[in-house]
């Protein structure tokens, strides 16, 4: 149980998110298999364990883990389009008339319904970790759309869920650019060897630097020409390495061997214990890391009225 991405959300009121409350709420929206005529389904599944009675909420030391699953039938538009065209040509040839849009739309619906039972099924999971004491929801996704789908469904089963994306007071691009210019970050963060540079003009160019010293003359020349750093790879206290962008999306998150070895030692040989140990250690790392990251980026922005 190690996240690969983080999208950060802040709870904006004292919502009572407990394991028992969530278990009851999530049970009203379980993930269901796609029926033969169903394009997609969405609901909650157990974060650990495949048994039907496995809990929908995993908790440990005050932290909570939940998981949502999407199941969808994959029906390529090209397959539907070709089948519709074939049917239209048959009708036009047999009846010596033109098939117009309204009838084509009806044919498309019929073709889709006929093909759906034979379509492949794709499943994907999205995990969310909740730290109630810190007022944080962390979603293991780099897609804001997928994160919002999970939050929206969680809001649906709970009745309300006042959250907002975590933001900072200073534009991240300004901080990233300053760090690269000065060849150093702060709050336990260290630059590594990758960044993305963008021209400040609306239609300006993009330059991606990989596996190079960010203090190099080439990078510094781009900064001197007015380019801004919009993505940057960082390491934190020999525990984490990651890529962060100007929307505070954390991607390619990697836990260093120090943490992996500790989780393995804490969890022992049992799979459930390993899962629990890695989850708790991950969350303890996050609640230490995230405040330092936000402070390094100028401090968390609290919107007026909240």
pLDDT in tens, 207-264: 999 998 998 998 999 999 889 999 999 999 989 999 999 999 999 999 999 888 888 8
Domain-wise residue ranges, the chain: 7-75+120-165, 77-117, 172-296
pLDDT, tens only, 166-179: 999 999 999 999 99
* Mean pLDDT of the residues in the chain: 92
Using DSSP, state whether 51 is helix, strand or coil: coil
The percentage of the chain sitting over the pLDDT mark of 90, rounded to a whole number, equals: 65
The pLDDT of residue 109 is above 70: yes
Using DSSP, state whether 170 is helix, strand or coil: coil
d(CA 30, CA 71): 12
Tokens of 258: 């120090």
More confident of the two residues 213 and 267: 213
Residue at token pair 């309204």: 102
* DSSP-derived secondary structure letter, 132: G
Residue 253 Ramachandran class (φ > 0 left, ψ -120 to 50 alpha, else beta)? beta
d(CA 8, CA 289): 12
Grade residue 267 by pLDDT with cuts at 50, 70 and 90.
Answer: confident
Residue at token pair 């709420």: 25
Q: Measure the CA angle with vertex 27, ends 21 and 31; round to 5°.
A: 135
**pLDDT for position 305:** 58
d(CA 233, CA 244): 6
Tokens of 30: 């379980």
**pLDDT for position 112:** 85
In the chain, where do the E strands start and end?
7-11, 40-45, 58-60, 63-74, 120-131, 136-139, 163-165, 189-198, 206-210, 228-236, 240-245, 250-255
Q: Measure the CA angle with vertex 134, ends 133 and 135; round to 5°.
A: 95
Q: Burial of 287 by CB count in 10 Å (0-12 exposed, 13-18 middle, 19+ buried)?
A: middle
Least confident among 5-9, 254-258, 287-291: 254-258
DSSP string across 185-232: -STTEEEEEEEEEE-SSTT--EEEEESS-TTSHHHHHHHHTT-EEEEE
Buried b or exposed e, range 45-77, using 16+ CB within 10 angstroms: bbbbeeeeeebbbbbbeebbbbbbbbbbbebee
Among 267, 273, 276, 255, which Cα is nearest to 57's?
276
């Amino acid at each position: 149980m190690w996240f690969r991405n983080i999208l950060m959300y802040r709870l904006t009121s004292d919502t009572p998110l407990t394991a028992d409350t969530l278990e009851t709420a999530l049970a009203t929206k379980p993930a269901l298999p796609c029926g033969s005529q169903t394009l997609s389904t969405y609901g909650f599944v157990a974060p650990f364990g495949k048994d039907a009675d496995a809990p929908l909420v995993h908790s440990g030391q005050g932290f909570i883990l939940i998981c949502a699953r999407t199941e969808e039938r994959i029906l390529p538009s090209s397959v539907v389009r070709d089948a519709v065209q074939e049917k239209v040509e048959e009708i036009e040839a047999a009846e010596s008339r033109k098939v117009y849009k309204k009838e084509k739309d009806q044919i498309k619906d019929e073709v889709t319904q006929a093909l759906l039972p034979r379509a492949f099924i794709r499943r994907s999971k999205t995990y969310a970790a909740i730290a109630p004491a810190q007022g944080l929801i962390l979603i293991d996704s780099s897609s804001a759309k997928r994160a919002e789908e999970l939050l929206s469904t969680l809001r649906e089963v709970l009745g309300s869920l006042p959250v907002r994306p975590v933001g900072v007071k200073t534009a991240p691009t300004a901080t990233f650019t300053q760090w690269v210019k000065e060849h150093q970050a702060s709050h336990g963060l260290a630059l590594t060897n990758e960044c993305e540079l963008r021209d400040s003009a609306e239609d300006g160019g993009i330059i991606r630097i990989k596996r190079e010293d960010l203090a190099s003359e080439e990078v510094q020349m781009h900064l001197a020409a007015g380019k801004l750093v919009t993505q940057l790879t960082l390491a934190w206290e020999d525990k984490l390495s990651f890529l962060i962008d100007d929307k505070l999306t954390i991607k390619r998150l990697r836990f260093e061997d120090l943490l992996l070895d500790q989780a393995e030692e804490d969890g022992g040989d049992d799979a459930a214990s390993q899962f629990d140990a890695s989850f708790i250690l991950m969350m303890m790392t996050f609640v230490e890391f995230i405040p330092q990251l936000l402070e390094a980026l100028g401090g968390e922005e609290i919107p007026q009225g909240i």
